[in-house]
Structure 1
C-alpha cells in the first residue's frame, strides 16, 4: 500500500486500541475497591493495633494526601484496563505488522507468543506469592515502639514493579532460544557460560527486587537458573538437529568445509569419449566457409 494508506490503517488500529482501553478502564473503575484490596493483600495488616500482632511485622495502609484516593483509583483502573484489554490492542498491533511478515516469520511469532505469555504469568504468580513473605521480613526489622504506616499508592507501585520484574525475568530463556534459532550462539557455548550466568542472575535478583531481602533474591534467581539450563538443553537438541540436517551449518564464514579428494571409478557406462576439435572447426573453416557448428557466427558473436 502507499504510505498514506499505511498511516491511515495505523490511525484506525490505534483508535480501536484506545477505545477498547478506555471502555475497559471505565468498567474497571466500578470495581476499583476490589482491585485495590487484591493488590494490597500481600501486606500483613495490623488487626488489633499498630505493632500489636505478629511481633510488629504488620502495617496500616493509609492515604497521605487529599488527592491520593482519586489518583490511586485512576491508576488502578487504567492498569486493569491495559491488562484486561491486552488481547484487543495486541491483536490490532499484530494485524498491522503481520501483512509484512513471511510465512515462517509468522509461525515463529505464534510460537513466541504462545511461550511468552505463560512464562510472564508464571513470573507474575511467583511475585505475588513471594511478596507476603518479603514484606513480613522487611516489616519485622521495625524497631520496638515504632509503627508502619504505608501509603496506598506506594504499595501499588511496589506490587506492580515486583510483578513486572518477575514476569520480564522469566522471558530470558525464551530470548536465549530465539538467539540460538537464528544461529548466533550455539547451545554448547551457552553451556560454557553457566558460571557467569548464575553469578549474574543472583546479582540481578539482588538489584532488581525492590524488597532487597535474601528471600526475594533467591526466589527470583532460583527459577531463572532452572529455566536457563532448560533453555540450554533445548538449544543443544536444536544444534544436533541442525547438524544432522546440514553438517556444514556450524562452520564459520572463513572456514572451508572438508573435501573428499579420494578418486572414484566412474564405471564403464559413465565414460565420455571426446573427439578432438580443430581450431578451424571452431572459428571457421580454412577455405572461408562458415563452420556448421556455430551457424556462421564466430565466438564473440
Structure 2
C-alpha cells in the first residue's frame, strides 16, 4: 500500500472507533440513571462505596436518609454524568476500537509477531481491568478509614466532583500499576532484562514498590497503600519467575560457543607443523626424444 492508502485506511479505522465510542457514551449516559434487565444504574454502582458508609459519617442534605452527593455548580451533575458516560463508553466500545487497532497493525507483522501482539494486548487489558476492580474493592474499605478519622468533630459532605475525582484517580493508578509485570516480561523477551539482574535485589524492589504505593495512592491511607503494594509485589514476583524460566530455556537452546570469547571459541591453536621438501619427480621424455633413441 502507498502512503495515501495507509492514511485512508487509518482514517477509516479511526472513524469506526470514534463512532463506536460515541454509541458507547450514549449507552453509558443512559445507564448512569436507568439500567435495563434488572441491572443496577451506573451512578449507583459508582457511589456504592460512599453509600456503604454508616449514616453518621455522611451528611444528610435532604432529610429523607437518601445517600446523595453534593453539587455546588449548576452544570456539575450534567458534566459528571457525561464524564462517567464517556468512560463507560470507552470501556464498552473497547472490543471495537481494539479490533480496529489490531486490524490496522497486523498486515505489517509476521505470524509470530501477530501472536505475541495479540497476547500482550489481551494481557494488558486484563491487568488494567483487574487493577480497576481491586481499586473499587479497596475504596469500599479505604474510604471508611479516611472518613472515620475525626468524625467526633466533623461530618463528611463530599461533592460529586471530589468523590468521582478520587475514585477515577484510584482506578487509574491501580490499573496502570498492574501493567508493570507486563513491562518486565517484555524487557526480558527483548533481551534487555535478565533474571540474574534482579534475583538478588528483591528486598530493594519490594521497598521501592511500597514507597511508590505510599506516594501514588490518592488518599494516602494505609489500607490502599498496602493493597496496591502487596498486589504489585505478587505480580512482579510472577514476572520474575517467568523471566527465570525463559532465561533457563533460552540458555539450554543456545550453543555453548555463543557465550565464549573469540579466543575461547576458536580453541587452542596448535603449533605449526614443519614443512619438508620432497624431491621433484623426473621429467618424462618427450615424444621426439623417444623416437631419436629408437632410431
TM tier, shorter chain? Answer: 0.7 to 0.9
Identify the residue that residue 232 of structure 2 maps to in structure 1: 224
Report if the CA contact (8 A) 1:206-1:217 is conserved.
Answer: yes
The correspondence for 1:258, drawn from 257, 260, 264, is 264
Report if the CA contact (8 A) 2:210-2:226 is conserved.
Answer: yes
Identify the residue that residue 138 of structure 2 maps to in structure 1: 130
Identify the residue that residue 98 of structure 1 maps to in structure 2: 106
Distance 1:160 1:153 in 2: 10
**Bigger mean CA offset, 27-36 vs 240-249:** 240-249
Distance 2:163 2:113 in 1: 41
Identify the residue that residue 218 of structure 2 maps to in structure 1: 210
Identify the residue that residue 42 of structure 1 maps to in structure 2: 49
Q: Tell me how many residue pairs correspond in the alignment.
A: 258
Gaps in structure 2 of 5+ consecutive residues: 34-40, 61-66, 271-277, 281-295
Report if the CA contact (8 A) 1:186-1:239 is conserved.
Answer: yes
1:152 is displaced (CA, Å) by: 1.0
Does 1:80 pair with 2:88?
Answer: yes
Gaps in structure 1 of 5+ consecutive residues: 53-58, 265-275, 279-301
Distance 2:93 2:240 in 1: 34
Does 1:181 pair with 2:178?
Answer: no
Q: Encode CA deviations 1:124-152: one digit per residue, 9 max, x unaligned.
A: 12111110111111111134242211111
| Counterparts in 2 of 1:261 and 1:178: CA distance versus 1, 3 Å | same
Distance 2:137 2:97 in 1: 28
Report which of the two has the higher share of helix: 2
Distance 2:129 2:257 in 1: 36
| Counterparts in 2 of 1:248 and 1:64: CA distance versus 1, 3 Å | farther
1:210 is displaced (CA, Å) by: 0.5
Q: Encode CA deviations 1:28-75: one digit per residue, 9 max, x unaligned.
A: 2222122111111111445478579xxxxxx86211111111111111
| Counterparts in 2 of 1:71 and 1:257: CA distance versus 1, 3 Å | farther
Does 1:199 pair with 2:207?
Answer: yes
TM-score (norm 1): 0.78
**Bigger mean CA offset, 240-249 vs 150-159:** 240-249
Report if the CA contact (8 A) 2:71-2:77 is conserved.
Answer: yes
Q: CA RMSD in A?
A: 2.6
| Counterparts in 2 of 1:192 and 1:48: CA distance versus 1, 3 Å | closer
